[in-house]
Amino acid sequence: METARQTTLREQPEIINLFQMLEGNGLTGEREKVELLLDYLDSLDHRFNQVMEELQEVKGQLAQIQDKGVKSNATHVVRRAEVKIQETGVHIEAVKKNLISSEKHIVAAVKEKGKDALKHVVSAMRILDVLTHLKEVLHDSAKCMEKEAAKLEMISGEFHSIGEHTKNISRMLIGRLKQESAEKHSDKGVLIKMQWLCLSCGRQLSDMEEKTVEVLNRMEQFTVREPKKESVKEALKRIKSEKSVSQTIQPPMKEKER
């Protein structure tokens, strides 16, 4: 059975409408910026799906661990990694949804201000700020996978000292020791595979971070950041200050004639 093809951002009705508006007003430069962003996000989505597949493979390896203590420790490691990767996925989806929903705001702005509102579509989307934050999220996730892989290596390394200790056990237990040794050897192999998969996830996340930096650099080359918008708090403070100054310089009222 074939897997249903995932719809790309370019195929979303909102994005198609945005392209038509930009083309209809001769703003090919803005369209190129949006296209760069769409290609990046679709590529990011594809890579993230690969990370999720590898994470599922890591989780599947847990069932093969026979030692209960080792299995418990490894499970905690995998859960931490899973939570971090899921958080990354939430951020990626949020960026995609914001891009799609921004089309409605752009249409409203065009109706209010005319086609001039289209000339700074990318700046209005705050793309540089969004991608900068996403880059930091990807960086943290990649480092997390490296740390969890190192913890799996530590758990795996404990088998060496356990093996040395069992050599001093009485020969009368030799049969059971052989069985336990085989189980430990099997568990160590599983842990090594899990460690390799975690490192692979980390490398993919690092590649995604590098791609984000590349897109950021390209965006910065032809995108001018808008001046920082005044916050509500700053606006209220300014108005209060202006009102105070106005009252100070206001001439006194004349006394009413008696």
Mean pLDDT of 164-178: 43
Q: In this structure, is residue 101 part of a structural domain?
A: yes
Q: What is the pLDDT of residue 88?
A: 95
Total domains, the chain: 1
| 140 pLDDT higher than 80 | yes
* Structure tokens belonging to residue 201: 């996830």
Angle value at C-alpha 145, between 141 and 147, nearest 5 degrees: 115
Q: In this structure, is residue 237 part of a structural domain?
A: no
Higher pLDDT, 87 or 31: 87
Q: In this structure, is residue 248 part of a structural domain?
A: no
Q: In this structure, is residue 181 part of a structural domain?
A: no
Measuring CA to CA, which residue among 191, 109, 198, 96 is closest to residue 145?
198
Domain that holds residue 203: 9-167+187-225
Q: What is the pLDDT of residue 184?
A: 63
Q: In this structure, is residue 251 part of a structural domain?
A: no
Q: In this structure, is residue 82 part of a structural domain?
A: yes
| 162 pLDDT higher than 50 | no
Least confident window among 22-26, 85-89, 226-230, 238-242? 226-230
